[in-house]
Structures are given as C-alpha cells and as structure tokens.
Chain A
Amino acid sequence: MTDATAPTGKPRRKAGARWRVPPLPGMILGLIAVWYLAVIPMNVQETLTAAERAGAEVSPPSAVERRDMGAWALVARNPGELGQSWSLDRPRLPSPHQVLVELYDSTIDEELNGRRGLLRSGSLSNRGLAHHALVTLNATFLGFLIGTGLGILLAIGIVHSRVMDMSVMPWAIVSQTIPIVALAPMIIVVLYSVGIQGLLPKAVISAYLSFFPVVVGMVKGLRSPDAMQMDLMRTYNAPTAAILWKLRLPASVPYLFASLKIAIAASLVGAIVGELPVQKGGLGARMLAGSYYGQTAQIWAALFVAAALAATLVWAIGAAERRTLRKMGMAA
C-alpha cells in the first residue's frame, strides 16, 4: 500500500492556502479573551454597588433585588455602568492584568522597594511570593528525595524477595487508589504535637505522595530486562549485585524518569496541601490567606507561581531524561 494512492479522508492543505490562526497562540489568546469577558458577569454585583456609591443610576436600585437577579440580566439592564468591572478593588474574578500587576507587586516590586525586600534587608521579603515559593520548593525537594530514595530501595527489595513482592506489592498498588492527601492535616498536627515542625512535616507528606508511583514504576523497570538478557548474566555466573548494577538498574532508567515526573508533581501538591493547616509561609498558606481575606488576585498570583513551578520541575526532569537516555544510547 502506498501513501500516494491511499485515500486520506481529509483533503491536504495546499501550499499558499488561506492563512489560518496558529493553534497554540490562538488558543491562549482565546482563553484570555474569554477570561476578560467572564469578568463582566462574575463581578457585576460588586461593579454595580461601586457604581451606585459613586452616584450612578443603577437598575434595579436596591441591592437586595440585585442580589436575587441573574448576572446576565444585570449586565443587560446596566450596560453603561460596567466600566469598573476590570479594575475593582476586591473582585470575585480579577482580570488578567490585575493578576499580572499583583505578580509584579509581590515579586519584583516587593523585593526592590519593600521595607522587608531584598534591597533593604538583604533577604527575600516574607511578604513576597519568591519567599513563599522557596519555602514550598524546599519542602517539595526534600520530600521528593526522601520519597524516591525509599521508593527505589523498596522496589529493589521487592524485585529480589518473593515474600516482599507477594506481601507488599498488592498494598502498594491498592494505596494508589486511596486519596492519600486526606492524611495530610493529620500528619502535620501529629508531628507538630511530638515537637517536629517546620520543613519536615510537609516533606513527609510530599515523600508519601511521591513514594508509591516510584515503587510501582521501578518494580516494572527493574523487571524489564527480558529472559535472554537475564540468561546471559547467568551464563557469566554474575552475582545478584552485579545483575542489579549492570543490567536491572540501567534497564529501569526510562521507567524511573517516567515515575519521577509523576512524583515531582505529586510532591508539589503534597507540599502545598501540607501548608494549609499550619500558616507558616508557602504557596498553600498564601492561597488560604487570600481566600480568608478575599484577596482574589493574591490567590491567582500564587496559583500562577505554583503552575510555573510545576511546569519548570516537570520540564527539568524531562530535560534530564532526554540527556541521560541519549548518553545511554536509549533515546527513542
């Protein structure tokens, strides 16, 4: 079967055909446009209250009546009073530029001009996002290292001992179906009551979340050498340690990286959730504080920083994966 004669189902786009919007930038611009539009109905109540205070005629005039009306109906009846939608002080949905301003204020501006900022005090401001991101990142890394380290050790144990395989592995698989995050507040409070606080409790949650994906992935990876390769090692009379070191571990590297990507994302979620019960800094604490005080722009800014962190971490592991696999000659 040749491609040229095969029916393709869809007509090929001809060179020089109609110009079309590039997909990814188009999609992102579209999302931003939808966001700006959504700001109008989301904030209509607050906008009209503000307009009324400024002396404008609003229909219906009483706040109680407005509260019971649908957002779109209010928008339709007061088209002239909606100018404030995108610049409210405490909006329900902040507009994208407000989030950007908040991001700038709480990072660069805070460090350069703030009383506790980097320039004046010599250390990152504890009101700035950079400080909170670092707190979260520390817990994430520590938990990630503990979790993957223990996970790899347990996987090696499982692969080499049939008893461990049969008794522990089913539980490791079942534990993947359990919403482990539910344990987070309890771990924090219990560790706190026995005198352990600060970085470690959050790292324990991160470690716990990143542990099981690594165990399951590594067991698969350590078992991935096929019978031929194992037989070769046996004809060399290789000891178990040599088989592990020279065959099993190298063969498991692709599986390891696949689970590391899941594990680092899970670690970050664990660190953020771990920061909710104890308000001692970190992106999770920042989000909760924002939700207590109605500072929506602050929540969104923290959310964007968390998203950027997650993307960077996963990307970094992906880059390390590509480099390692290429050097090992395993790149796809």
Chain B
Amino acid sequence: MTFVLFALILWAAGWALNVRLANGPARQTRAVQLAVPLIFGATALGMWELLVRGLEVSPVILPPPSMITQSFGTNLGLLWGDFTQTILKGALSGYAIGCGAAFLTALAVDRSDWLREGLLPLGNFMAALPIVGTAPILVMWFGFGWQSKAAVVVLMVFFPMLVNTVAGLSATDRMQRDLMHTYAATWPQTLMKLRLPAALPFIFNGLKITSTLALIGAIVAEFFGSPTLGLGFRISTSIGQLDLPMVWSAIVVAALSGTAFYGLVALIENRTTFWHASQRGG
C-alpha cells in the first residue's frame, strides 16, 4: 500500500509543480514550455512504476518501466537488428519509392487534364481505404523478406502523397503564373522557380503524414509473415512467449523511430520552407 500512497503523493506533487509553472510568471519561456510536458511524462512513468509494484500487477500483464528499461538494455543488439530490418530496409525504402513515384505521378497529372480528372478522385478514394489489408497479398507475392514490407509501404504512402503534391502544384495563383508567362518561361522553368517552391509546404505535409503510415505499414505487414527478425515479428513472438518487457522494448523502438523520422522531416521542412507563414515564428 505504501507504494500506492507514494504514487498518489508523486502525482499530487507533479501536478502542483506543473500548475505553479504553467500559471507562473515564466510560462512564456521556452524552458518552462519544455519542462511542463517532461514533468508530466516523468510523473506518469513514476506512477506506472509505483502502482504496478504497489498493486502487485503481474509483469505478464503490465511490466513496470524499470523492467522494460532493463530488457531494452540487455537486448540492444537484437533490437538493433529489428530496427534495421523493419525501419531502415522495409519502411524507408518503401517510403522513398512510394513518395518518389507519387511525386513523378503528380507531375504527370499536372501536365494532363485527363489524368487529373481520372486519377484524383481515385486517389482521394484510395487514401481513405484500409490499405494495410493488402499486406497478406503482398507478403504472398514478394516473400517474407523486407521487399514485401516495402511494397506495402509503397501502396500506403502513394495516394496521400499524390493528393498532397497535386494540391501543392496548384497552389500558385494566376498572377504569379502570368508573370512567369510574360518572362516567356518554359514549363520546366516555371516548375523549378515558381511552382515547386510554392508546393513545398504541401509536399512536406504529405511527407509528414506518410512518415507515420510507412512505419505502420512495415510493422503490420510483419504480422503476416517475416524472417526471424523485425519489430512486428518481435512483438508477435514475444507476446507468444509472454515476454511483455520485450514487447514494450520493441514498442519503444517503434515509437522512438517514428518520432525521430517525423522530427527529421519536420527539421528539413523548417530549413527549406523558412519563408512560409507557418514557419515564421508565431
């Protein structure tokens, strides 16, 4: 019971601290804005640890964070192998192929009205479908290796990326295009100097949305068959062995790589579209 009591005290202390910080005079500073969510997160982790120990929850149901950290530390090599298999080979290669193909298709759509009227409704429709469902088929076609995961990822990222890029390419207004026309700019020149830069915010929006989709596709595809490594494989087999700390470690890896992936895209966006309204301090 003392653990549970400690947990409640910890919660009260953390919350009180946050209330003071959030309503205090320094709430606009960057340090406080960073500290408050971090304190909240740390409090939640501490509560988790204390409650699991205090209520004697079986580690088969919910392991405490300390056990997860331990398992994470001892299995670093294994998890690194899973990371390269799922994230670097499966998700990233599929992401690159899918987004690249969507970009080229968007350029083609931009040049042809027929393609635009035919592909866009289809693309909007497909973007909402549960494409993860194609995973069993693609695993059957491309085998258990990372290729089938990349194929699932390509399908998942293609349509959201296409829709966003096409929207971006039509983001310039008539005056701007007319100006290019009076300069006698050719289509490639207009594209490079005006329309692509104007489309960048939309393209990055697509890249950010699809970064999460890519990881989901790669992990779910492994539930349908994989070699003996990979995050999805690790999760499903460790559950079979009731090795919950290992499952959580794999989830931590997935979460960290998802956030890092997204953060990387957001960082590149920050550097390349510094001129856009959404990026100029606000």
Contacts and interface: CB of A to CB of B under 8 A. Distances in A.
Interface of A: 1, 6-7, 9, 20-21, 23-24, 26-28, 42, 92-93, 162-163, 165-171, 174, 176-183, 185-186, 189-190, 193-194, 261, 265, 268-269, 272-273, 276-277, 283-284, 287-288, 290-291, 294, 296, 299-300, 302-303, 306-307, 310-311, 314
A23 B114 contact: yes
Contacts of B117: 23-24
Interface residues of B, number: 68
Contacts of B282: none
Given A182-B235, A310-B129, A7 B181 contact: yes
Nearest to B141: A92
A261 B118 contact: no
Top-9 shortest CB links A-B: A27-B118, A291-B136, A167-B40, A23-B117, A23-B118, A177-B262, A179-B215, A170-B37, A166-B36
B141 A272 contact: no
B137 interface: yes
9 contacts: A1-B178, A163-B22, A166-B18, A166-B21, A178-B259, A185-B235, A269-B132, A284-B133, A306-B133
B111 to A, nearest CB: 10
Interface in B211-237: 211-212, 215-216, 219-220, 223-225, 231-232, 235-236
B23 A163 contact: yes
A93 B137 CA distance: 9
Given A20-B114, A269-B132, A193 B223 contact: no
Contacts of B268: none
Nearest to A180: B216
A178 B23 contact: no
Contacts of A180: 216
Nearest to B218: A179
A167 B122 CA distance: 40
Contacts of B200: none
B33 interface: yes
Interface of B: 15, 18-19, 21-23, 27, 33, 36-37, 39-41, 60-62, 113-119, 121-122, 125, 128-130, 132-134, 136-137, 139-141, 174-175, 177-178, 181, 211-212, 215-216, 219-220, 223-225, 231-232, 235-236, 239, 244, 247-248, 250-251, 254-255, 258-259, 261-263
A48 B248 CA distance: 47
B23 A265 contact: no
B240 to A, nearest CB: 9
B118 A288 contact: no
Given A181-B220, A182-B235, A182-B250, A310 B128 contact: yes
Contacts of A93: 141
B134 A303 contact: yes
A314 B128 CA distance: 8
B35 to A, nearest CB: 9
Contacts of A176: 212
A169 B116 CA distance: 38
Given A26-B118, A167-B18, A303-B133, A291 B140 contact: yes
B63 to A, nearest CB: 11
Nearest to A276: B223
B132 A273 contact: yes
Contacts of A181: 132, 216, 219-220
Given A178-B258, A272-B130, 11 more contacts: A1-B175, A24-B117, A24-B122, A176-B212, A177-B261, A179-B215, A181-B132, A291-B140, A299-B136, A306-B130, A307-B129
B220 to A, nearest CB: 6
A171 B223 contact: no
A178 B139 CA distance: 23
A167 B16 CA distance: 12
Given A23-B118, A171-B37, A303-B134, A186 B181 contact: no
A27 B119 CA distance: 7
Contacts of A276: 223-224
Nearest to A271: B130
B137 A166 contact: no
Given A6-B174, A27-B122, A176-B212, A291 B22 contact: no
